[in-house]
Amino acid sequence: MAMKLHIVHMNIKYKTINDAKLRPNGLAVLSFLFKIGDTDNTNYNTIVASLRNISRAGEYVDMASTFSLSNLLPSIASLSKYYRYKGSLTTPSCDEAVIWTVFEEQIPISRSQLNIFVDTTYFKSSAGTPQKMINNFRPLQLLNGRTVYASRDATISCGSSLVANLLLPLLLFSFIGQLSASS
């Protein structure tokens, strides 16, 4: 199982998200992959503790002033390593309105912290019912003539590493994976 953080920005030229998503430069998304390990990421303790207060789908916890977004991200020095491309939203209607920036350095988080996210975050299925936020990724999309740009500091190599560094982020997922029988 894996997890991804999206930070969505709207172009100030547009008054609403609905207006912005109709324009090719309407949205910009900063995307960070998580690396699952054994050690808790203490920068996520506030979020994880707040999520533990959610017991049913549809509930929420207001955390707007409880942490600094910059503390949740990789070090500033590593933010110079990224890939960028013009793409689309990851949810229907999948409007082609997003400039994606996918950062190379992954954010460490423990398996137990990941499990809190899995157990407490939901989305509405196409039937309108709450569904755990797992396997909610969009299938791999063809490049369709798009160019994926790499920053000067990004790590680019040939072969399978190229696939891992450039094509995997095109999956545009938030959470992916399957729960094992032991979960």
Q: For the chain, what is the HEC assignment?
A: CEEEEEEEEECCCCCCHHHHCCCCCCEEEEEEEEEEECCCCHHHHHHHHHHCCCCCCCCCCCCCCCCCHHHHCCCHHHHHCEEEEEECCCCCCCCCCEEEEEECCCEEEEHHHHHHHHHHCEEECCCCCEEECCCCCCCCCCCCCCCCEECCCCCCCCCHHHHHHHHHHHHCCCEECCCCCCC
Domain of residue 68, residue span: 3-150
Task: Confirm whether 44 is domain-assigned.
Answer: yes
Residues 6+ apart with CB under 8 A from 56: none
Task: Confirm whether 49 is domain-assigned.
Answer: yes
> How many structural domains compose the chain?
1
Cβ 132 vs Cβ 122: under 8 Å: yes
Task: Confirm whether 41 is domain-assigned.
Answer: yes
What's the pTM? 0.79
Q: What is the CATH number of the domain that holds 135?
A: 3.10.200.10
Task: Confirm whether 23 is domain-assigned.
Answer: yes
Do β-strands 27-37 and 98-103 pair in parallel, antiparallel, or remain unpaired?
parallel
Q: What is the pLDDT of residue 156?
A: 72
- Token readout for 37 is 């390990």
Q: What is the pLDDT of residue 37?
A: 96
Instruction: Extract the residue ranges of the chain whose pLDDT is less than 70.
Output: 157-183
Task: Confirm whether 174 is domain-assigned.
Answer: no
Q: What is the pLDDT of residue 126?
A: 78
Q: What is the pLDDT of residue 92?
A: 82
Task: Confirm whether 172 is domain-assigned.
Answer: no
Cβ 24 vs Cβ 97: under 8 Å: yes
Q: What is the pLDDT of residue 157?
A: 58
Task: Confirm whether 116 is domain-assigned.
Answer: yes
Task: Confirm whether 22 is domain-assigned.
Answer: yes
